[in-house]
Structure 1
Amino acid sequence: MTEGFRELRLDGVGRRFAGKDALADLDLTIRAGEFIALLGPSGCGKSTALNCLAGLLPLTSGSIWQDEKRIDVLPPEKRGFGMVFQSYALFPHMSVRRNIAFGLQMRRLPRAEVARRTAEAIRLVQLEEHVDKLPGQLSGGQQQRVAIARAVVLEPSLVLMDEPLSNLDAKLRLEMRTEIRRLHQSLGLTTVYVTHDQEEALSLADRLVVLRAGRVQQVGTPEELHARPVNWHVADFMGFRNLFEMTATQASRGDVVVEGEGMKLVGSAVSPIAEGSRAVAAVRPEDVRVVTGEGENHLDVDVEVVEYQGRELAVEVRTASGRALHVRTDQRLAPGDRVSLAIDPQRLLVYPLAPGEQAPAPLADVEAVAS
């Protein structure tokens, strides 16, 4: 087996292209056996970070250490890592068995050892019935299993996965997520996984690293990032679809009153915020409830769009000031209905806006720009 490590440390890792930072000042310590997800939108630097770790890109600044050994000066083949690509990168003329065994054969291991480890990897990814097929005869999910088996058969100290499920349909993605988690737990593999899918990251990772414009925004457990994003950029990416610029009119301890766009709401300040300052209020669609009667944080809205999603409806409503809000509810609503909504103050997170910082655009403005 490839020599293991206690921890992998990235110190101030940066990478520039054409004078611009694609990745800057990345500090991260990965413990042996940990599953880390690098998460963020396209162009945030997550794949750049993975490629720097793999040795496919040289660093512009910083260093990478495996315990006390510096490895960013080593070529990829000397680092002992396994990699699973988005494109699978299988040899089309080789059978499943030969694809998986190829790396072991290149290392000139004894034939019996190659056969044993190849058979074990095939069993792990449950492809025993397909060992003699060519990649072109397999489904997308089966091809991805071959790619994963080819990586783990080398018994690497670290497995790097670059958006491995993005080419699969929704059902296969769900199945392969479970498969990857099962393999990670059964083998104790240290894994770094790149994705733009926050649901995928939450379900797989022990810790998430959220990147934006090449810089780390937050590092934490799935529970921490889901419940308490550190800034509104992370909240936006982690499913807080309702974000709107408001003004903090009262602030005491953790509670803050914000006003704007015809709304007056009580929320929970994520970080200190001064009265009279600009703020972004954020709440998840599932934390906006359809209610009857009056009360704190109540809004009267008109239902405009209803999407059936099984047990729940995804609903877009509009306030009297014309602002769109997103709601998830099990109540049967229809376009044209007028309903009351309530937002739990503890679920409405309020973030200060830095001087000169641009607030999130309303959904209608985003759609106008996109079109």
Structure 2
Amino acid sequence: MSSAEAASPGRFTELRLDGVGRRFAGKDALVDLDLTIRAGEFIALLGPSGCGKSTALNCLAGLLPLTTGSIWQDERRIDTLPAEKRGFGMVFQSYALFPHMSVRRNIAFGLQMRRLPRAEVRRRTEEGVRLVQLEEHADKLPGQLSGGQQQRVAIARAVVLEPSLVLMDEPLSNLDAKLRLEMRTEIRRLHQSLGLTTVYVTHDQEEALSLADRLVVLRHGRVQQVGTPEELHARPVNWHVADFMGFRNLLELEVAHVSGGGVDAEAAVRGEGLTLLGTATGPVSAGDRVVAAVRPEDVVVVDEAGGDNRIAATVEVVEYQGRELAVEVRTAAGRALHLRTERRLAPGDEVTLTVERERLLVYPLAPGEQAPAPLVDAVTT
């Protein structure tokens, strides 16, 4: 095999994780992960701290051995190979740049380690510098760059290897809000223009929705849902996913009655002084404990008090966010609710709220399952 061939591992049609699991000190960090990644896809592993997303990435990278399962690149098993034999590129949260090397030398380092011809190293390095638009900074040291520029160097160092897969472990979490937005666009542009296959770890659902072709939501090491951004945004499979995907209002209620049956049935739910109509996401019956979930942007301030799904509340906290206000209100029963509105509201205002039935999703609670903690103010004055 030539050095060029060794530096460019074979491309794949699909990468398959079959029952991948990892334990630490007898405790499961990742359980039975089944996932097929198609060439050219951008996959986001999403979830809160400790959900198993970084463990999954490190197992895929070869930085952690599997406890159970296997990983296949088409018909070739790769979980038995060391990290350096898998041909993947890695972008770390901490950049991991050599502080004594210039931008150009950092980008060239991996190519030199693979013993490519000097002309090829030079060509790919200069191409990498151009890709991340750092021509004016190519001779600077990392300490002379901003955080966003350093992360561009780390990305260029990974992609110039022409890897079959790029792995990114929360690469934007150390950046400020403006740089995160800029780098999000940059990462998506590079993914599309280079035809990369990317697996990206994040705890930021907005980041995942904007970047990924498909999202994998994890909780306690187990996959909760795999789907497109549209699917996860509109129809989380359970209230845990809904909670993580921005359904900030989670109400533990009881089913009063159901019209129709199964998924998408109209369910009347009640409790805490509320009676609401929502859409069942699974089979529910009268008397069942459920969680009703709705996004803040789907809670609407209305002028009339009569009609279905009306909620009387008092404004408590108002946050100015440009065109919109983020508002926290409280019902007479002490339930805090969150909404977003263009109306100019102030603390103390009495308001009437409503939500469309299709926007209020009703999730069954399994027997013994812990419901979300109610946002009731425990402090009295």
Q: Does the TM-score normalized on the shorter chain lie above 0.5?
A: yes
Residue identity matched to 1:290: V
Q: TM-score, normalised by structure 1?
A: 0.98
Give the distance between the partners of 2:336 and 2:79, measured in 1 at CA: 48
Q: How does 1:1-371 map to 2 (within 5 A)?
A: 1-253=8-260, 254-293=265-304, 294-364=306-376
Give the distance between the partners of 1:79 and 1:355, measured in 2 at CA: 44
Give the distance between the partners of 1:344 and 1:223, measured in 2 at CA: 19
Deviation string, structure 1 residues 191-227 (Cα, Å, up to 9, x no partner): 0000000000000000000000000000000000000
Give the distance between the partners of 2:166 and 2:247, measured in 1 at CA: 31
Give the distance between the partners of 1:11 and 1:274, measured in 2 at CA: 36
Give the distance between the partners of 1:275 and 1:301, measured in 2 at CA: 27
Give the distance between the partners of 1:353 and 1:66, measured in 2 at CA: 39
User: 1:252: Cα distance to partner?
Assistant: 2.1
User: 1:3: Cα distance to partner?
Assistant: 1.4
Give the distance between the partners of 1:81 and 1:251, measured in 2 at CA: 51
Residue identity matched to 2:309: N
Give the distance between the partners of 1:230 and 1:261, measured in 2 at CA: 25
User: 1:2: Cα distance to partner?
Assistant: 3.0
The equivalent of 2:5 in structure 1 is none
Q: TM-score, normalised by structure 2?
A: 0.95
Unaligned runs of 5+ in 1: none
Q: Determine helix, strand or coil for the equivalent of 1:346.
A: helix
Deviation string, structure 1 residues 12-50 (Cα, Å, up to 9, x no partner): 000001111000000000000000000000000000000
User: 1:249: Cα distance to partner?
Assistant: 1.1
What percent of counterpart residues are identical?
83
Give the distance between the partners of 1:297 and 1:348, measured in 2 at CA: 10
Q: Determine helix, strand or coil for the equivalent of 1:48.
A: helix
Residue identity matched to 1:339: V
Residue identity matched to 1:59: L
Give the distance between the partners of 1:299 and 1:363, measured in 2 at CA: 16
Give the distance between the partners of 1:15 and 1:275, measured in 2 at CA: 41
Q: Determine helix, strand or coil for the equivalent of 1:109.
A: coil
Q: Determine helix, strand or coil for the equivalent of 1:120.
A: helix
Residue identity matched to 2:218: L
Whether contact under 8 Å (2:93, 2:172) holds in the other structure is yes
Q: Decide which moves more: 202-211 or 249-258.
A: 249-258
Whether contact under 8 Å (2:9, 2:86) holds in the other structure is no
Unaligned runs of 5+ in 2: 1-7
Give the distance between the partners of 2:254 and 2:374, measured in 1 at CA: 16
Residue identity matched to 1:283: V
Q: Determine helix, strand or coil for the equivalent of 1:363.
A: coil
User: 1:4: Cα distance to partner?
Assistant: 0.5
Q: What root-mean-square deviation, in Å, do the aligned CA atoms of Structure 1 and Structure 2 show? A: 1.0
User: 1:364: Cα distance to partner?
Assistant: 4.4
From the superposition, tell whether residues 21 and 115 of structure 1 become closer, same or farther in structure 2 (CA, over 3 Å): same
Q: Determine helix, strand or coil for the equivalent of 2:329.
A: strand
User: 1:274: Cα distance to partner?
Assistant: 1.6
User: 1:363: Cα distance to partner?
Assistant: 2.8
Give the distance between the partners of 1:314 and 1:289, measured in 2 at CA: 12
Give the distance between the partners of 1:282 and 1:75, measured in 2 at CA: 45
Give the distance between the partners of 1:187 and 1:5, measured in 2 at CA: 15
Q: Determine helix, strand or coil for the equivalent of 1:258.
A: strand
Deviation string, structure 1 residues 40-71 (Cα, Å, up to 9, x no partner): 00000000000000000000000000000000
Aligned residues between the structures: 367
